[in-house]
Structure 1
Amino acid sequence: MKEALGLSIEGMHCGACVRRVTDALGKVDGVEVNLVEVGSARMTFDPERATLEKIADAVNEIGFTVRSEK
């Protein structure tokens, strides 16, 4: 069963940042990106394939800081 997840993402300031975060999240197995805008992201994920830690790591690896809004 998929779960909804909202993230507050620090360091996103422009459209290029949005694109980088969208791409990073899209590469995490089990994640479906619904909306990414400056400062936040909304998605659904399959907890059997993706964890909050994996999702946060994907965003942190490209230089942003994640806070969960779940």
Structure 2
Amino acid sequence: MAEKLSDDERALLQAELEHLRQEHRDLDAAIEALLHLGAADRLQIQRLKKRKLVLRDRLVFLEDQLTPDIIA
């Protein structure tokens, strides 16, 4: 699908990828901070981890859209 993307579409996907990567890193930092504080709310940590997984799935999908298919 990558070859069917216009330059504008590719730029939008790249921008969304960067935004999602940053959000993923921020969630990782928030989870680590909660764990190190010792007063960690397990439910809050579960929610953050679930959000992180959703972001990871979206990242993989977008990366697949930007990567050209290679026939082996």
Per the normalisation by structure 2, the TM-score is: 0.30
Per the normalisation by structure 1, the TM-score is: 0.30
Q: Normalized per residue, which structure has more strand?
A: 1
